[in-house]
Chains A and B, each alone.
Chain A
Amino acid sequence: MAMDTAEAVDTGSAAPSPRPGGSKRRIQAPKYALAIPAWTLFILFFALPVGLVLLYSLGEQVSAFVQKPNVSPSVWSFDNFGKAIDPAYMPIFWRTLKIATIGTFICLIISLPFAYWMATKASPRWRGVLLGLVLVPFWTNFLVRTIGWQIILAPNGLVSGWLQDLGLRDAPLALLYTQSGVQLGVVYNYLPLMILPLYVAFERIDPALTEASKDLGANRFKTFVQVTMPLAVPGAIAGMLLVFIPLMGDYITPSILGGSAGSMAGTLVAEQFLTTFNWSKGAAMAVIMIGFILGALLVFAILGLLLRTILRGRRRVRLPEASA
Chain B
Amino acid sequence: MSTATTTPVVHRKKVDWTKQALRAWAVLMYLFLFLPILWIVAFSFNTGRLLTVWNGFGFEGYQALFNNPAPREAVVVSLIVGVLSAIIATVLGSLAGVALARRPGKWTIVFLVFVALILVTPEIVDAIALLPWYVQLGQGWNLTIFNNGYVRLIVSHAIFSTAVVTLIVRARLSGIDEALEEAASDLYATPTKRFTQITFPLMLPAVLAGGLLAFTLSLDNTVISSFVSIQGTTPWPVYVFASVKTSLRPDIASISTLMFILTVLAISLVAVVLKRGGDSSGDIAATMTGTG
Contact = CB atoms under 8 A, between A and B. Distances in A.
A254 to B, nearest CB: 11
B241 A154 contact: no
Contacts of A130: 26
A143 B102 CA distance: 39
A147 interface: yes
A52 B23 contact: no
Interface stretch (A165-173, A188-196, A300-308, A309-317): A188-196
Contact of B40 (A37, A49, A148, A270): A148
A14 B103 CA distance: 9
A110 B26 CA distance: 10
Contacts of B252: 147
A264 to B, nearest CB: 10
B25 interface: yes
Contacts of B122: 245-246, 248-250, 266, 289, 293
B219 to A, nearest CB: 8
Interface string A248-279: 11111001100000000010011001100001
A139 B263 contact: yes
A35 B99 contact: yes
Given A246-B122, A273-B131, A196 B288 contact: yes
Interface stretch (B4-12, B28-36, B57-65, B68-76): B28-36
B251 to A, nearest CB: 12
Interface in B238-274: 240-241, 244-245, 248, 252-253, 256, 259-260, 263-264, 267-268, 271
Contacts of A42: 114-115, 118, 159, 162-163
Interface of B: 1, 18-19, 22-23, 25-26, 29-30, 32-37, 39-40, 43, 51-53, 91-93, 95-96, 98-105, 107, 111, 114-115, 117-118, 120-133, 135-136, 140, 155-156, 158-159, 162-163, 166, 174-179, 182, 216, 219-220, 222-223, 227, 237, 240-241, 244-245, 248, 252-253, 256, 259-260, 263-264, 267-268, 271, 275, 280-282, 284-286, 288-289, 291
Nearest to B100: A35
A46 B281 contact: no
A interface secondary structure, majority: helix
A50 interface: yes
A24 interface: no
B267 A136 contact: yes
Contacts of A245: 120, 122
Contacts of B114: 39, 42, 46-47
A304 to B, nearest CB: 18
Given A9-B178, A151-B43, A279-B132, A141 B35 contact: no
A89 interface: no
Contact of B128 (A48, A133, A270): A270
A121 B223 contact: no
A251 B223 contact: yes
Contacts of A220: 18
Contacts of A50: 121, 125-126, 129
Interface stretch (A74-82, A200-208, A225-233): A200-208
Contact of A200 (B53, B177, B282): B282
A273 B92 contact: no
23 contacts: A6-B101, A31-B107, A35-B111, A39-B111, A39-B114, A45-B130, A47-B114, A50-B121, A52-B136, A53-B128, A53-B129, A110-B29, A136-B37, A139-B263, A147-B51, A200-B291, A242-B291, A250-B122, A251-B124, A251-B223, A269-B124, A270-B124, A270-B127
Contact of A34 (B1, B43, B95, B222): B95
A148 B35 contact: yes
Contacts of B25: 113-114, 117
Given A6-B103, A49-B130, A269-B128, 7 more contacts: A37-B92, A38-B111, A110-B29, A151-B40, A200-B282, A203-B280, A245-B120
A121 B23 contact: yes
Given A147-B40, A156-B53, A242-B289, A67 B135 contact: yes
B98 A34 contact: yes
Contacts of B125: 50, 53, 249, 286, 289-290
Contacts of B288: 135, 138-139, 196
**Pairs A-B, 5 closest by C-beta atoms:** A249-B122, A148-B36, A49-B129, A34-B99, A49-B133
Interface string A64-97: 0001100000000000000000000000000000
Contact of B96 (A34, A137, A158): A34
B130 to A, nearest CB: 5
Contacts of A117: 22-23, 25-26
